[in-house]
Amino acid sequence: RREMRPFGVQVSIIEPGGFQTAVVDPVPLVKGFKHFWERLPPETQAAYGHQYPENYAKRSALMYRLSSSRLSPVTDAMTHALLSRCPRSRYAAGWDARLIFLPLSYCPTWLTDTI
């Protein structure tokens, strides 16, 4: 973003939170994960534990339930970034992005990793 400024290019970053899209839909996500899990060597499966696929499925379903179904914050940020006379350099779309991920991006790496 900063490297393009001398060339007259302004880059706006849109940082969305969790939204219910096909990327986080738990049904195909878990199905694909189980397909790859079965192809792993037994020692790799043992290193992760045999409950790992079930835990992954539960976390995927929880993440999908906590995600917002309204995509308008993302499209509003895109519209503002493209059509505004003075677009912002960063947009946080969604409450989880504003309250969790954006403040974490300003923290030191060790703190972010710990949280």
Tokens in use for 73? 């914050």
User: From CA 34, how far away is CA 26, in angstroms rounded?
Assistant: 12
- Predicted local distance difference test score (pLDDT) of residue 61: 94
Average pLDDT per 10 consecutive residues for the chain, totaling 115 residues: 85 89 91 95 94 94 91 94 92 87 86 84
The pLDDT score that the predictor gives to residue 2 is 80
Domain boundaries, the chain: 13-113
* Residues 63-83: b if buried by 16+ CB within 10 A, e if exposed: ebeebbeeeebbeebeeebee
User: pLDDT value at position 114?
Assistant: 85
Residue 17 CB coordination number (10 Å): 20
pLDDT computed for residue 97 by the predictor? 86
